[in-house]
Structure 1
Amino acid sequence: MEKRHQESLRKNWVFLMDSLILEDLLDLMIEKEIFTPNMGEEVSVKHTKKDKATQFLFTLIRRGPKAFDTFVECLNESSQDFIADKLISTLNEEPMQQ
């Protein structure tokens, strides 16, 4: 995952924790081979919504160069396009400093 994608996730961390609905999203991420079934299980076994979202995001960050774009695509497919829009708008706000 590119640094600017990680930065977009970091800047929206609390929003993501509060807003993500992981049930359908996890299945799509597995279907598109960003997550393995075992990774999906690691998220699903967490007890609270916050713990599930935390596990999901920490796993997502480590999933390679296609992970962010696929995540945004899966958000749109799972009717969470308002989250995708916010992540994209954060990317477009200003150039990320290195």
Structure 2
Amino acid sequence: MAAPSAGSRSALQPKEQMAADRGRRMLRGCGMHPDHQEALKKNRVVLAKELLLSELLEHLLERDIITLEMREHIQAKTGSFGQNVELLNLLPKRGPQAFDAFCVALRETKQSHLEELLLRTLSGLQPVVPPS
């Protein structure tokens, strides 16, 4: 009896792996454009040091970029640097509209210098072709 169940377990593993791969592909398709991810990554330290989150989070919440739970999770982090890092970790996973909404929120919260930094970085990047 032990051998068939061990065999059936190994037969399930490829199916489970395929399902996991499908899930990752779906998330990738719903994520932020690679160029936008790269612009955030190249400016990560500056953003983590300089972002002022209180009003910014409300703008992102209003635009459905983050949820109430995400806002609470971000605010639970210690210190502004930790909170900013948490937001920067979440943003790339929040869909193709997240970068533009983030830029608008920066502008509306009088952090245009950070929006300009991101846009300058974006214009200097070699275009990244998203994986198909």
Q: Give the RMSD, CA atoms, in angstroms.
A: 1.0
Match of 2:89 among 42, 45, 58: 58
1:37 aligns with 2:68: yes
Q: Name the residue aligned to 1:2.
A: 33
Which of 68, 77, 87 aligns to 2:118? It is 87
Deviations 1:17-66 (Å, cap 9, x if unpaired)? 11100000001100111001111110011111111011111111110000
Q: Which runs of 5+ in 2 are unaligned?
A: 1-31
Q: How many residues are treated as equivalent by the alignment? A: 98
Q: Determine if contact 2:77/2:83 at 8 Å carries over to the other structure.
A: yes
Alpha-carbon distance in 2 for matches of 1:97, 1:69: 17
Sequence identity of aligned pairs in percent?
35
Misfit runs of 4+, over 4 Å: none
- In structure 1, which of residues 75, 81, 86 is the aligned counterpart of residue 106 of structure 2? 75
Q: Which has the higher contact order (CA 8 A, sep 6+)?
A: 1
- Structure with greater proportional helix content: 2
In structure 1, stretches of 5+ residues that fail to align are none
Is contact 2:34–2:128 with CA below 8 Å preserved after alignment?
no
Counterpart of 1:25 in structure 2 is 56
Report the structure number with the largest CA radius of gyration: 2
Query: Which TM-score applies when normalising by structure 2?
Result: 0.71
TM-score normalized with structure 1 length? 0.95
